[in-house]
Chains A and B, each alone.
Chain A
Amino acid sequence: MDPYEIEFLGENRIISVIPNFSYDKIYLICGEFGPFRAGLPLNVPLWLAIMLKQKQKCRIVPPDWMDLDVLENIKEEEKRSRFFTKMPNEHYMVEAKLILGVAAEDVPNSSEIKTIIKDIWDIRMSKLRTSMDALMKSGGSYGRLDHLTLMEINSVKPLLPSAMDDLHRIRTTSKRPTTASLNTSTFSQSGSSQNI
Chain B
Amino acid sequence: MDPIDDIELSEEEEEITAETVLKTLQSAWQNERLAPEILPHHNDMVECMLGQIQHMERNINKLPKTDLRASIHKMELSRIKFIICNYLRTRLNKIEKYCIHIINEERQRMESGTNYLTPAEFKYAQEYLLNMESHLKNVVLDKMPGNMQTLELNKMAIYPNLQTHVFLKANDTVSCVVLEDLVGDQDEEIDLEEGSQHILQYKPVADLVKTGKVQLV
In angstroms, Cα B170 to Cα A145, docked, is 12
Q: Chain B residue with minimal CB distance to A144?
A: B198
Asked if residues A47 and B79 are in contact (CB atoms below 8 Å), the reply is yes
List residues of chain B with CB within 8 A of the CB of A141.
Answer: 165, 179, 200-201
How long is the Cα–Cα vector from A51 to B86 in the complex, in angstroms? 23
Q: Is B167 an interface residue (CB 8 A)?
A: yes
Cα A175 to Cα B73 in complex, Å, equals 58
Contact between B197 and A146 (Cβ–Cβ < 8 Å)? yes
* A24-B2, A141-B165, A143-B199 known; A29+B76 contact, CB < 8 A: yes
A26 touches B69 (CB 8 A): yes
Q: Say whether A51 contacts B183, CB under 8 Å.
A: no
CB distance from B141 to the nearest CB of A (A): 23
Contact A157 B167, beta carbon cutoff 8 Å: yes
Contact of A48 among B72, B188, B197 (CB under 8 A): B72
- CB of A28 within 8 A of CB of B6, answer no
Residue picked from B34, B49, B200, most chain A C-beta under 10 Å:
B200
Contact A164–B165 (Cβ < 8 Å): yes
List residues of chain A with CB within 8 A of the CB of B217.
150, 153
In whole angstroms, how far apart are the Cα atoms of A142 and B189 in the complex? 11
CA distance A49 to B69 in the complex (A): 13
Find residues 132-157 in chain A having any chain B CB closer than 8 Å to their own CB. 141-148, 150, 153, 157
Does residue A171 face the partner (Cβ distance < 8 Å to B)?
Answer: yes
Please report the C-alpha to C-alpha distance between residue A27 and residue B77 in the assembled complex, in whole angstroms: 12
Q: Kindly identify, within residues 22 to 64 of chain B, every residue whose CB is under 8 Å from any CB belonging to chain A.
A: 22, 26, 30, 33-34, 49, 52, 56
**In the complex, chain B residues whose CB is within 8 Å of the CB of A48:** 72, 75
How long is the Cα–Cα vector from A141 to B179 in the complex, in angstroms?
A: 9
Q: Which residues of B contact A145 (CB under 8 A)?
A: 167, 197-199
- The answer to the question of B19 belonging to the interface, with a C-beta cut-off of 8 Å to chain A, is yes
Q: Tell me the minimal C-beta distance from B197 to chain A in angstroms.
A: 5
* Contact (Cβ within 8 A) A161 B19: no
**Interface 1/0 per residue, A18-49 and B, CB below 8 Å:** 00010111111111100000000000000110
Most buried by B among A12, A57, A142: A142
Complex CA gap A143/B168 in Å reads 11
Report the nearest B residue to A33, measured CB to CB: B72
**Are A29 and B19 in contact (CB-based, < 8 A)?**
yes
Note all chain B residues with C-beta closer than 8 A to A31. Answer: 19
Q: Is B68 an interface residue, CB under 8 A from the partner? A: yes
Give the docked Cα–Cα distance between A40 and B191 (Å). 46
Minimum C-beta distance from B60 to chain A (A): 12
A142's contact among B19, B163, B183, B199, by CB below 8 Å, is which? B199
B77 → A minimal CB distance (Å):
8
Min Cβ gap B18→A in Å is: 5
Interface contact B164-A142, CB-CB below 8 Å = no
Q: Give Cα A147 to B193, complex, Å.
A: 13
Closest Cβ of chain A to B79, distance in Å, is: 7
User: What 0/1 pattern do residues 74 to 89 of B give for CB contact below 8 A with A?
Assistant: 0111011010001000
Chain B contacts for A160, CB-based, 8 A: 165, 199
Q: Is A168 an interface residue (CB 8 A)?
A: yes
Having A11-B79, A29-B80, one finds 6 other A-B pairs with CB under 8 Å, namely A28-B76, A29-B7, A48-B72, A55-B68, A57-B68, A160-B165
A–B complex contacts, Cβ < 8 Å, 16 sampled: A5-B33, A9-B26, A26-B4, A26-B69, A28-B73, A30-B76, A55-B68, A153-B167, A153-B217, A160-B165, A160-B199, A165-B161, A165-B163, A165-B164, A165-B165, A168-B201
